[in-house]
Structure 1
Amino acid sequence: MRFLWTLVALALASLHSGLCCLIILPIATAQELPVQSSTEQRLVELAQSVPGTIGYHVALVNGEVLYSHLGDEAFPQASAIKIPLLMEVLAQREERQLDWNALHPILAKHQVGGSGILSEFTDGGSQLNTADLCTLMIVLSDNTATNMLIDLVGMESVNRRMDSLGLRKTRLNRLMMDTAASARGEENVATPQEACRVMRLLAQGKFIDPEISNELLAMLRKPKSTAIRKAIAAEIPVASKPGAIPGVATEWAVVELPGQPYVMIFMGKEGSENEFNQVFTEMAKCIHNRLIEKE
């Protein structure tokens, strides 16, 4: 290693010996100071290229953090909060607190707009079991199915489950499409770091057990168009859940790159959800291409 050596003559003369110590201290040159990689610089540029605030956290499934920006900041989650809800549903099923095959009537009190199809059903005219509600919630991001599941397991149960996993900033605070609650500041939130921990937990097979973790990931792998999915070659599985409401966009994803699976979390607030998703796709391409180059 190259050093710029400076001689610091400290007259530490001994009263008895008259000797003097010459201390030579190494000082690192500018070239040796930590610098951002070109990938890190590009990610920051992309994050700053649109109005609003973008946070992200990218890590290998083994826990090695690759890139992070505003990783500990809370962001509204839109539909990405449905992953913690699904975790609670599966946990209660395993604890025999709910019946996976029990039928639930589709009632007007649960029906809300936004994404999904159940809002178009007649009041009380149809029933779906718990498993089908979960599928609709994840694949179609059905808000009515989501609200039915929230009523089934309890909002506080979801938050207690997150607490038990050490995820104290991941919070389900309101029903889907509850604009009044949102106006009061009651928002469903998480941080990029905590979302990454959730997805790593699933990818490692450590949520309850490997079978349950894989069951949840299988639901998240079901085909859908997302910002991250657009950036990754079709032959590479991606288990993800996006979310978007006015001013907000998010996506939690496990990219199952052979030999080096990794997690990408993107969150944006106070901007345009469309612009955020365009940036997320470019960021995902940048990260993925860098990882492929390093193989």
Structure 2
Amino acid sequence: MWAAPFLAQGSEAQSLEVRLREKIAGFPGTVSLYARNLDTGREVGIDPDRRVRTASTIKLPIACALAAEVEAKRARWDERLVIRAQDKVSGSGVLADFSDGETVSLRDARTMMIIVSDNTATNLILDRISADRVNDFLQSLGLTQTRSMRKIRGDGTQLKPAEGWSREGEKPESKRFGIGASTSREMVRLLEMLEQGKVVNASASKELLTILERQQYKDGIGRFSGEWRVASKSGSLDALRSDVGIVYTPHGRIAIAITIDDMPDIDYSPDNTGLKLINELSKMLIAELR
């Protein structure tokens, strides 16, 4: 396992960074993480600027870009999207099981893209606004490493040809990222801007954060969620597990982004070692970033 250090503020941050590195020492995979207490400013990271595969965590930036399109009146939440046979992709979600020709509102597609990580809903949204529009929006926020590369092909049971490429995704060096790329630091920055109402207006930001709280895949950051509110979006793909979110604690709002990749075993169970490590690292970050 290789993880370059990033020291935050003072001896306390250095001590936390050392303990985090001790925790991941010997883990069979690569770890990138960044976390920040949005109220106190305390932060820590391990390789936070390394560009990584996002898997389904890219659906958070897509949801933010979609909200901006609605705010700019280039889209409407009550639009109806038609679910055609060719639109359906395997993997997470429920829309692939809907009858051909059924419709779903843009708002409901957004909700399903987040709470059940619906792959078909994601592709319908990308067809509506385009991956390039998503990336232009991210660039306008100053996020230069976070990009939507293409539509989702499905899982290993039914892979479709890759399509819906963005300009960034068409670059040969981008193909290794799959559907999206980002860094842990940029994901936390996006969460921070969303919490501050700087991504879209305050009402739309609050609505999206509420949807993130209803996200049903809580095996990483949200594994302990009975104690505090958690607004998060997770991702899983072959040897990768990732999670990004805000934990609302009495000592501050802790924004966390963790990506674990290159694990030797493919395991989609809740007991995946990467998911367990994400949870353990999250607990350390929440306890220490005061």
| 1:5 match | none
| 2:277 match | 279
Which blocks of at least 5 consecutive residues in structure 2 are unaligned?
A: 1-9, 163-168
The whole-number CA distance in structure 2 between the counterparts of 1:36 and 1:195 is 20
> 1:252-291, aligned counterparts within 5 Å?
252-271=244-263, 272=265, 274-291=272-289
1:283 is displaced (CA, Å) by 0.7
Contact 1:90 1:212 in 2 (8 A): yes
What is the count of residue pairs matched by the alignment? 258
CA deviations on 1:146-193 (whole Å, 9 max, x unpaired) are: 000000011100000010011010010011136654994352110001
Output the aligned Cα RMSD.
Answer: 2.2
1:209 is displaced (CA, Å) by 2.1
Aligned partner letter, 1:278: K
1:226 is displaced (CA, Å) by 2.9
The whole-number CA distance in structure 1 between the counterparts of 2:12 and 2:110 is 45
CA deviations on 1:212-235 (whole Å, 9 max, x unpaired) are: 211110110115223111134x14
The whole-number CA distance in structure 1 between the counterparts of 2:43 and 2:36 is 5
| 1:156 match | 132
Task: Name whichever of 189-198 and 33-42 sits farther off.
Answer: 33-42
Partner of residue 226 from structure 1, selected from 214, 219, 225: 219
The whole-number CA distance in structure 1 between the counterparts of 2:140 and 2:12 is 37
Contact 1:231 1:282 in 2 (8 A): no
For 1:101, what is the secondary structure of its paired residue?
coil
CA deviations on 1:196-250 (whole Å, 9 max, x unpaired) are: 1000111122222211211110110115223111134x14111000000001111
Contact 1:75 1:268 in 2 (8 A): no
Contact 1:138 1:219 in 2 (8 A): yes
Aligned partner letter, 1:145: A
The whole-number CA distance in structure 2 between the counterparts of 1:191 and 1:81 is 11
| 2:176 match | 185
The whole-number CA distance in structure 1 between the counterparts of 2:76 and 2:254 is 33
1:39 is displaced (CA, Å) by 3.1
| 2:192 match | 200
Contact 1:63 1:200 in 2 (8 A): no
| 2:3 match | none
The whole-number CA distance in structure 2 between the counterparts of 1:245 and 1:222 is 21
Partner of residue 83 from structure 2, selected from 99, 106, 125: 106
Q: Is residue 210 of structure 1 aligned with residue 207 of structure 2?
A: no
Aligned partner letter, 1:246: D
Contact 2:80 2:106 in 1 (8 A): yes
1:38 is displaced (CA, Å) by 4.6
| 2:74 match | 97
Q: Is residue 46 of structure 1 aligned with residue 39 of structure 2?
A: no
Contact 2:116 2:215 in 1 (8 A): no
What's the TM-score, normalizing by structure 2? 0.82
The whole-number CA distance in structure 1 between the counterparts of 2:52 and 2:177 is 12
Aligned partner letter, 2:46: H
Give percent identity, aligned residues only.
Answer: 29
Contact 2:114 2:215 in 1 (8 A): no
Aligned partner letter, 1:138: I
What's the TM-score, normalizing by structure 1? 0.81
| 2:54 match | 77
For 2:176, what is the secondary structure of its paired residue?
coil
Contact 2:82 2:104 in 1 (8 A): yes
The whole-number CA distance in structure 1 between the counterparts of 2:229 and 2:130 is 32
Which blocks of at least 5 consecutive residues in structure 1 are unaligned?
A: 1-32
Pair member with larger Rg:
1
Partner of residue 60 from structure 1, selected from 24, 32, 37: 37
Contact 2:230 2:245 in 1 (8 A): yes
Contact 1:255 1:262 in 2 (8 A): yes
| 1:240 match | 232
1:63 is displaced (CA, Å) by 7.3
Q: Is residue 140 of structure 1 aligned with residue 116 of structure 2?
A: yes
For 1:261, what is the secondary structure of its paired residue?
strand
The whole-number CA distance in structure 1 between the counterparts of 2:215 and 2:189 is 23
Aligned partner letter, 1:185: R
| 2:4 match | none
